[in-house]
Amino acid sequence: MTHFGLWLVWCLAALTAAAVLTRGLIDWTLSRGILDTPNSRSMHTRVTPRGGGLAIVAVVVATSILVVAIQPRSLVTVAGVVLPALAIAAISWVDDMHGVKNRTRFAVHLAAALATTAVLGPVTQVDLGSVATLRFGPLAWPLTVIWLVGLTNAFNFMDGSDGIAGITALAVGGGIAAAAAASGLGPVAMLAAATAGAALGFLTCNWHPARIFMGDVGSAFCGFLLAALALAMPRDCLPDTLPVAVMAFWPFIFDVVSTLVRRARRGENIFDPHREHRYQRLLLAGWSHRAVASLYGGMAAFGAAVAIVPLFDPAVRGEASVFALATAVVEVALLVGLVAAAERRMPGFGGSAGPGSA
């Protein structure tokens, strides 16, 4: 079997396992009353079971055990990524079931981020090709922790539309897998590919109309795991490979940061439930769940693909870095423009500042 064939079988196995587990979780969560009930802040209209992200967690755990069995030298790296991610999944599952105070949840997020950073090491620099090389110096540790904690919560914040978190996890996982493979880091590539396959398997039940939601146990786990996998590269490769993850995460990063800044400027509690993320505003303006998820997933996949090119063809590094930065700017303009256009077409839209303002 060819190298490509082996990767295909690996991803199909993860996809199949996650799809089967997710279908089983639908009945299991329904029988136990683990349900998401619509309210004034939600983007859904019917009661739906949640906790489907447990399927992704199970596939990743099984994959990590297999990876370590195949390559025992990867134990420290795999443990440094997966064990803290499991701590995130555990507190998130408790939150799904009973609710957890914000400070307790964030304390676990912070502890997990510190543990992963201690094992993998902080990000000291990022290479932007011909544009610049960013060296972080004493800010390396805090910026690495912010990366991990921030993306854990960004995935959670953005998991409010059918398919959007799953398709983004698919794109990010696929991008990281390709970057790791190009760098010769098989264990990370295997974990990232399995995560992408598991996300696709979960999507078979989460694409609109969703039969089950990911829940915090899935969204927070995926956010942390993928952010950590992006750091689990060889130190000499990390400055070149990290931009792949940044570009894949970029639509989520921009949506979350711009929304939090806008709400903070109005003096609102940024942790209160709301419907002001740009993906939510598109849904409120009449976009379908499938269209919104496809938009964000497509941007994530395209951004990752642009950033991956120089890893396979160093001769185009300069042009690719400029094109990647241009892509990030265009994606921002696209999101802002689409939201503004959709809201202008809404009956009674007056363009006033507030939740509907760009």
Mean pLDDT of 262-281: 91
- Bigger pLDDT: 200 vs 274: 200
**DSSP label at 277?**
S
The DSSP letter of residue 36 is E
| Dihedral of alpha carbons 302, 196, 275, 269, sign | negative
Q: How many CB atoms lie within 10 A of CB 333?
A: 10
Q: Which residue has the tokens 């003096």?
A: 267
Residue predicted with more confidence, 236 or 199: 199
Q: Per-residue confidence at 349, pLDDT binned at 50, 70, 90?
A: low
pLDDT tens string 141-197: 999 999 999 999 999 999 999 999 999 999 999 999 999 998 888 899 999 999 999
Confidence check: pLDDT of 1 > 50: no
Q: Are 56 and 202 in contact (CB under 8 A)?
A: yes
What are the backbone dihedrals phi and psi of residue 237, each rounded to the nearest 5 degrees, phi first? Answer: -95, -25
**Is-contact 182 308, C-beta < 8 A?**
yes
Q: Is the CB of residue 36 less than 8 Å from the CB of residue 50?
A: yes
What 3-state class would DSSP assign to 225?
helix
Is the CB of residue 320 less than 8 Å from the CB of residue 306?
yes
> Residue 337 and residue 64: Cα distance in Å, rounded?
42
d(CA 144, CA 232): 12
Q: Give the whole-number percent of the chain exceeding pLDDT 90.
A: 77
| Whether the predicted pLDDT of 16 surpasses 80 | yes
Compare 283 and 186 and report the one with higher pLDDT: 283
What's the pTM value of the predicted model, to 2 decimals? 0.94
Q: Residue 127, SS3?
A: strand
Q: SS3 for 50?
A: strand
Provide the pLDDT for residue 269. 85
pLDDT of 358 over the 70 cut: no
Q: What is the CA radius of gyration of the chain?
A: 20
**Average of per-residue pLDDT values in the chain:** 92
Give yes or no for residue 83 having a pLDDT over 60.
Answer: yes
| Higher per-residue confidence, 76 vs 7 | 76
pLDDT surpassing 60 at residue 7 = yes
End-to-end CA distance of the chain: 51
Kindly indicate the confidence band of residue 352, based on its pLDDT and cuts at 50, 70 and 90: very low
**Predicted pLDDT of residue 238:** 87
Residue 18 has pLDDT above 70, yes or no: yes
The winner for highest mean pLDDT among 120-134, 220-234, 308-322 is 220-234
**Phi, psi at 285, each rounded to 5°:** -85, 0
Q: What is the percent of the chain where pLDDT is above 70?
A: 94
Is 159 or 241 the better-scoring residue by pLDDT?
159
Residue 357 has pLDDT above 60, yes or no: no
User: What's the confidence (pLDDT) of residue 125?
Assistant: 86
- CA separation for the pair 144, 310 (Å, rounded): 24
Mean pLDDT of the 283-309 span: 96
CA distance 84 to 86: 5
Whole-angstrom CA distances from 72 to 69, 76, 144, 357 are 6, 9, 26, 53
Backbone torsions φ then ψ of 352, nearest 5 degrees: -75, 160
**Among 325, 122, 104, residue whose Cα is nearest residue 232:** 122
